[in-house]
Amino acid sequence: MPIRVKQGAFLLAVIEQTRLRVSRNTEAKRKSQLGQFLTPASTAQFMAGLFTSTDDSQCRLLDAGAGIGSLTSAFLERCIKGDLKFKKVEVTAFELDSLIHKELNDALTSYKNRLSLDFEILGGDFIEHAVNRIQFSSGKGFTHAILNPPYKKISSDSHHRLLLRQADIETVNLYSAFVALALAMMSPGGQIVAIIPRSFCNGPYYRPFRDFVLERAAIRHMHLFDSRSKAFKDDDVLQENIILLLERSQKQGDVTVTTSTDDSFVDFVTHKHPFNRIVFPHDTERFIHVPTSAERNAIELSSAIRSSLEDIGVKISTGPVVDFRLKEHLRDMPETGTVPLLYPAHFSGQNIEWPKPEIKKPNAIQRNAETEKWLYPNGYYCVVRRFSSKEEKRRIAASVVQPDIFTNAKMLGLENHLNVYHENKHGLPEVLARGLAIYLNTTGVDENFRRSSGHTQVNATDLKMMKYPSRAALIKLGEWAMHCGEPTQCMIDEQLENLAS
């Protein structure tokens, strides 16, 4: 169990005051350029509390993106208290921002007379240094790493991307690159604790990173902050963050999952789960789920929900009409020579309001040689919004395109902010479209999606990787939907329970 967070010792309090001062005095633009946000004391103490004691007499600690030393200081406090018993601690702290090297040096120096400690502070490019070390160093690996890595995208043709490939690391963001490099530099049994965005848990772009981690380490602990705004609230960072404890080259076992609303940890909840609830055994994409309750939901329990979209003969695509690319062909309202253009704002539950002048979006698109290939035949389609606001309770919200609303239209424009279920770019049978919408609107589906995604965005790939009832079962759901009037959420969820039973 991790140490419960309390107000730190005097030195930690001083470092926290330094963090607040440095954060206030650093321009937002510079923070964004560096992709680095300093770790609050309470989070640093919690992270340090996740390390378990080892038999090693010597600790070699890596802190990449060390900032002013908050994470390393919290780790050293545990050593001083005797929670972590090492005869000697060697710290390698990387920090790109030379403007805060003095604060980092002062923080680490303050521990020199309290335990056997050696440290080095390195500037420059951590990725370049780490890749060189992986390729050419024959020295001992690190035994521990504590990381709050920078968050910044890596372009596909950048120097960093080429360097990472030399270490067999393929990834799209600095945060995942730092974790992968740290893992590559760890000794067997070495422990990494890192606070990183949750975006790596799903989606195709982070698949190579998930493979890299799962093939080299065991996940021991995951902590999820329910709030997207409070983990780094002093820097106005809006990101769903997760804290991981990884062990290099160890056998995977059960995973402890904890949650709290924010870094006060006052509503700390803990559960232990078998690994097959974290990464589903037959999931080729290896999505990482974060169950927030001990109970399995209906999606996990049901043997009736095992079909892929391919199994049921349905495809999923993002809406093909990208409005800014076809701007000259868009019309505010329908007119001769146009067809309906549907945005998420046209849908409210299972109702469609079209045309809708007040949404400040075009309601129609010209049908001509340039737009024809982006249009679908009028028909029944199940659609899911790609974006939701962080305040909304649901991430997955499905509706049905009903062709009788557009009786005079042979084609439809489906805008890019919609995900569209179709049969080879044609409509679905009505009962199947309605059955899909009922299934997708169940609480169980939404909960299951949130376990693997911290995004407010729902991509077509996410929906493609989900499991579904069989086509026959979806058709039964559709038949029920067509005769039940306006179903409540309880009625919809009851249908899922009937499938699961």
Helix (H, G, I), strand (E, B) or coil at 334: coil
Name the superfamily (CATH) of residues 10-295.
Vaccinia Virus protein VP39 (3.40.50.150)
pLDDT the model gives residue 295: 67
Q: Which residues pair with 472 in a beta bridge?
A: none
Note whether 438 and 480 are within 8 A (CB): yes
Residue 440's pLDDT is 96
Q: Under DSSP, is residue 226 helix (H, G, I), strand (E, B) or coil?
A: coil
pLDDT at 30: 47
> Alpha helix locations (H) across 344-456?
430-440, 443-452
Q: How many angstroms separate the CA atoms of 377 and 370, rounded?
A: 16
Compute the distance between CA of residue 32 and CA of residue 299 in angstroms, rounded to an integer: 39
State residue 235's pLDDT score: 44
For residue 419, list its beta bridge partners: 318, 384
Burial of 236 (0-12, 13-18, 19+ CB in 10 A): exposed
The candidate with the shortest Cα–Cα distance to 237, out of 191, 288, 195, is 195
Kindly list the distances between the CA atom of residue 349 and the CA atoms of 376, 395, 436, in Å, as whole numbers in the listed order.
22, 13, 14
pLDDT at 227: 59
Distance from the first to the final alpha carbon of the chain: 36
Q: How high is the pLDDT of residue 2?
A: 47
Q: Nearest to residue 425, comparing CAs of 359, 373, 371?
A: 373
Asked if 227 and 262 touch (Cβ cutoff 8 Å), the reply is: yes
Listed by start position, the domains of the chain span 10-295, 309-500
CA dihedral 401, 403, 405, 408 (to 10 degrees): 140
Phi, psi of 134 (to 5 degrees): -65, -40
Cα within 13 Å of Cα(25), Cβ side: 8
d(CA 344, CA 387): 9
In sequence order, the 6+-apart residues with CB closer than 8 A to the CB of 280 are 287, 289
**CB-count burial class (<10 Å; 0-12, 13-18, 19+) for 251:** exposed
Q: 309-500: what fold?
A: Adenine-n6-DNA-methyltransferase TaqI; Chain A, domain 2 (3.90.220)
pTM for the structure as a whole: 0.73
Q: Taking a C-beta distance cutoff of 8 angstroms, is the pair 418, 386 a contact?
A: yes
Tokens 């253009």 sit at which residue?
A: 341
Count of positions (residues) in the chain: 501
Tens of each residue's pLDDT in the chain, 501 residues: 444 444 335 566 666 666 566 666 655 554 455 446 678 888 999 999 999 976 667 899 999 999 889 999 999 999 999 899 899 999 999 998 888 899 899 999 999 989 999 999 999 899 999 999 999 877 789 999 999 999 999 999 899 999 999 999 999 999 999 999 999 999 999 999 999 998 899 888 899 999 999 999 999 999 998 754 444 444 444 358 899 999 999 999 999 999 988 888 889 999 999 999 899 888 888 989 888 776 666 666 677 888 999 999 999 999 999 999 999 999 999 999 999 999 999 998 888 999 999 888 999 999 999 999 999 999 999 999 998 765 567 889 999 999 999 988 999 999 999 999 999 999 999 999 999 999 999 988 988 887 766 556 788 888 988 889 999 999 999 999 999 888 999 999 898 888 766
The pLDDT value recorded for residue 74 is 93
What is the predicted pLDDT for the residue at 301? Answer: 60
Structure tokens at 272: 């232990």
Rounded to whole angstroms, how far apart are CA atoms 367 and 166?
A: 50
The CB density around residue 483, as the number of other CB atoms within 10 Å, is 7
